[in-house]
Structure 1
Amino acid sequence: MAKVAGLTVRTLHHYDELGLLRPSERTASGHRRYTEPDLRRLYEIRLLRELGLSLEEIGGVLDQPGALRPVLAARVDELDQQVRRINALRRQAETLLSHLDSAGPFATERPMALLGQLSVFGEYLTEEQGRRLDQHGEQLDAEAREWMEGEWPVILAELAEHFRAGTPVDDPAVVRSARRLTTLMETFTGGDAELNAAVAKFFREHGTEVMRSLTGGPDPAFTTGLWDYVSQAYSALG
């Protein structure tokens, strides 16, 4: 049994002592004999261990009829969130690779400068608007926050590449990026009209600096033209 399951005899004895997996039968000499139902239970134990549950948690789940399904469903949701986060990180890595290929190293000063620009955004909010934005942020779950953190630099980098390539603002690929930017902004503000207006004003006045921080473009004409391009793509959605 231990060899077939890839476990040590000591582990099986430990499971028996905990009451987690007791053999259904014993031989005449007193040795443990595991039946097919025992093997199924062992499979469930190993699966739940791989999913991160403790032995105590596993015992509680397996001893309560119907308890396994909600535990597995919750774990699947957690794994889905991890997959989305990994995908967001992968997109960011691809963006950095794109910068290495087209614009040289993505220096540390770029994200730091970008954070400096975004910190100015608070100056565009009244005290009440700042409170509303904080309240909305608290209502967002971890998945939404991770998605926003991973999505906005990717979208802006995509638009920068479209601008660099001279892609028309009504091109389907540009429209898709602009729509994602709209969704991102709506998620950030919760659809609050006053907050949307504050975001728009901030980017009208600081969009060029934000794009320069993101792209590291040494040419002011490039980053100025880039923000105009982003604005046109955003406005083209109507």
Structure 2
Amino acid sequence: MNEGRKLAGKIAIVFGGSRGIGAAAVRRLARDGANVALTYVSAPERAAETIAAIEADGQAGMAIRADSADPAAIEAAVAQTVDRFGKLDIAVVNAGILRLGDIATVSVDDLDTMLNINVRGVFLSIQAAAARLSDGGRIITIGSNTAVRSGHPGSSVYSMTKAAVAVMVKGIAVDLASRGITINNVQPGPTVTDMTAAHIDAIKPLIPLGRAGDPDEIAGLISYLASKESGYMTGSSLTIDGGMAL
């Protein structure tokens, strides 16, 4: 354990932590002193690399295969984390998918998949984590700046799912307030990840700062929300998007 770091002694789980913003969050939480479990579905090698990186930084970690659309897998992941580390202080809910399609072409399968993972899965992950979370703990969800605007054609369903998360967080904040647990929602704009690689260049002209975000920048905000410093903030959605949604 790294004494003197703001998250020293804390235990975190990052749902969807094998790559992109999730992996950056795992690394940042560990750098700030937390031991971290992550879940993954389809990238075991990336998950192993992320765990190796935080262990090299002096923290303990574990990778757990768990589909965020499967309630039993989500509960098992939380249970494994608590069994390994003895408690849970921080939960980051990053699992999500992006499938684009306009009103004429989006399929029922894509609609159901995005709702199941981006809304139902987020709720179930929060529910499972909250049941085992220490009083005074932290929950951080990863939404999107498209929750307040559709940045381009074909993003209406994705925007809808992320708007649902923003509203969900407000209600859950009230539910958990008596335990001193805070929950906040980070709404990144276009960020350089595997999920955005196919269309990131087309979006850059829409960003006032003229560039996409770096996952480490998003992770910095996540770490703040996971820390003691953010204790008076709950139910909020914080947009970090280079000015795109102004």
TM over 0.5: no
Q: Which has the higher strand share?
A: 2
TM-score when scaled to structure 2?
A: 0.25
TM-score in terms of structure 1 length:
0.25
Higher-helix-fraction structure: 1
The structure that has the greater radius of gyration is 1
